[in-house]
Amino acid sequence: MHVAIFIGSPRYNGNTSTMASILSTSLIEKGAECRSFHLYKHKIEPCLDCRLCKLDDMTCAQLDDMTVLYENIEWADVIIFGTPIYWFGPSAQTKLLIDRFRPYFANKKLYGKRAALLLPAGSGMGDCDVTIEQFQRIFKALGMIYIDTVAIQAYDENDVRDDEQHHDQLRDLVDKIMTEEMA
C-alpha cells in the first residue's frame, strides 16, 4: 500500500508533523510505503481558474511544485491530509493544495482512492467540524473514500508528542487504514 501524507503546518516539528510521523512509522511497521510532504517547503501557486485542466490531458497548466505533489497524489492509494486548524479551517498552504485539485474533478484520477485527516486544534474536535465537512465534500466530489479523522486537542508545540493517548488514536487510524486495505 502506498500512503502520501501532506503536512500543512509551518512548524516542521509541531503537532501536525508529530501526528504524521507517528502515523507514518506505524504504517511502515505494518508494511505500507509512506511518503510525507511538508507543504510549506513547496511553492504552490493559487489556482488561476484558467480551466485548462478541463481540456486535452486534463492537467494543471501551472509549473510549480504541484507537479511533484501531483505525482505523489497519483502514486498513493491512501492520501492523508494533516493541517492545524486556523480559524476553524485548514492552513493557507493546505487550502492552496486542495484548490489545485481541480484537474482531478475532470480526469477522475482520484476516484476510489482513500483519504483521512489529521487535525490538531486548540480545543480539539470542537474546532474541526467545518474542516471535516469541507474535506468530506471534496472527497465526495472527487469520488474518494473517507476513512476517518483524528482530531486532537493540541495547542503547544509538544502536546501530541507528550500524550500517549494521542498515539493510541493514531494507531487506531492505522488499523482502519490497514483493515480496509485487506478487505
Q: What is the pLDDT of residues 22-41, one digit of tens each?
A: 999 999 999 999 999 999 99
Q: How many domains does the chain have?
A: 1
CATH number at residue 61: 3.40.50.360
The distance from CA 142 to its chain's CA centroid, rounded to whole angstroms, is: 14
Average the pLDDT over 11-32 and give the result: 92
Query: Band of the pLDDT at 55, cuts 50, 70, 90?
Result: confident
Residue 180 has a pLDDT of: 67
**Three-class DSSP category at 154:** coil
Which residue range(s) make up the domain with 131? Answer: 2-182
Determine which helix (DSSP H) or strand (DSSP E) holds 52, and give its type and residue range. none
pTM over 0.85? The answer is yes
Q: What is the pLDDT of residues 157-167, one digit of tens each?
A: 776 777 777 67
Are 25 and 51 within 8 A, CB to CB? no
Secondary structure tally for the chain: helices H, strands E: 6, 5
How many whole angstroms separate alpha carbon 33 and alpha carbon 3? 6
